[in-house]
Amino acid sequence: MPTQIEARFAHESIRPRIASRVLNSKEELLSGRYAPEIRALLEERGVLVFPEIHFTDEEQAAFTRTLGTLAKERDGEDVFLVTLDDKKNKTGSEYLKGSLYWHIDGTMNPVPILASLLASKKLATWGGNTGFSNTYAAWNDLPEDRKVELEGLRVLHAAWASLFYYDPEPALEKLKFMRMAGEQELPLVWKHRSGRKSLVLGATAQHVVGVDAGRSAEILVGLREWATRDDFTYSHEWKVGDLVMWDNTGTMHRAEPYDPACARMLHRTKLQGEEPFV
Ligand code: OGA
Ligand code: MN
């Protein structure tokens, strides 16, 4: 009898509290056969790495579609080029400066994107890892009395708040421009449909509603420090061809500093959100 090689979903943990590596082939991933398992593992682990999978843009978009609804870019394209090269980056490099600080994508939208997939095409000459923090684990490990204090708090998120991270003395025009990107009040603790809870933090978190400015800053700084401690984080050192996907509803991420003059290039696709912040 010919031996049957049983195809299976193959993965291993990278760090105890965050990130797994998926070891299936390109063909297996594109078949969609493991889509439910990939979705479940993503929610559980926050970050999935597909080492040196070398998807083309078309394959990356097709793989994204096996997992849900691909969220198109504003110009109707499937793929966005994440680079500081203004000739290639359609929104301009300005917006990417904010990505050097811990953030969640889409905090100006009621339903943020579910996940992002980044594929490395060209490495930075120095630096340029992408860092991730598991905000489910960070919430989970807080002491019970702290959870009681924090639950129910609401935070005003504003795109303009992130401007001050990289431009502490902005021109008024620039501030006005960033204000047009919107503001939104969000819960500090996101109660997901699954019953799990995660922290909603990041560079757009401007202040805790109804709390004085100093105390509000202490809460937000303290929680960012907690959520980004070593246990809850993973820093991905890119190899060309790597694909990294993160659950944008249960993680924060940031680009680590890199040579701004280099041609670091990542191609991004996104999965449309399925759950509002509540
Ligand atoms: C993003 C992002 C981080 C990076 O694409 O949303 O924050 O490392 N990227 O470029
Ligand atoms: Mn981002």
- The residues with which 234 forms a beta bridge, in sequence order, are 132
Ligand 2 centre distance from Cα of residue 9 (Å): 28
Give the ligand 1 atom nearest the CA of 268: 5
Closest CA to 236 of 224, 221, 254, 209: 254
Q: What is the pTM of this model?
A: 0.95
Residue 32, C-beta contacts closer than 8 angstroms, at least 6 positions apart: 66
According to the model, what pLDDT value does residue 2 have? 57
Q: Which ligand is nearest to the CA of 266?
A: 1
Helix extents (H) in the chain = 26-30, 35-45, 57-67, 94-97, 135-140, 144-150, 159-166, 172-179, 213-227
The protein residue whose alpha carbon is closest to atom 6 in ligand 1 is: 105
Q: Which residues of 181-211 are buried (b: 16+ CB within 10 A; e: fewer)?
A: eeebebbbbbeeeeeebbbbbbbbbbbbeeb
Given a cut of 50, the residues of the chain with pLDDT beneath it are: none
According to the model, what pLDDT value does residue 91 have? 65
Ligand 1 centre distance from Cα of residue 93 (Å): 12
Instruction: Give CA–CA dist 9/62, Å, rounded.
Output: 19
Give the ligand 1 atom nearest the CA of 256: 8
Tokens of 151: 């639950």
Sorted by where each begins, the domain ranges of the chain are 11-271
Q: Is the Cβ atom of 157 under 6 angstroms away from ligand 1?
A: no
Domain 11-271 fold:
Double-stranded beta-helix (3.60.130)
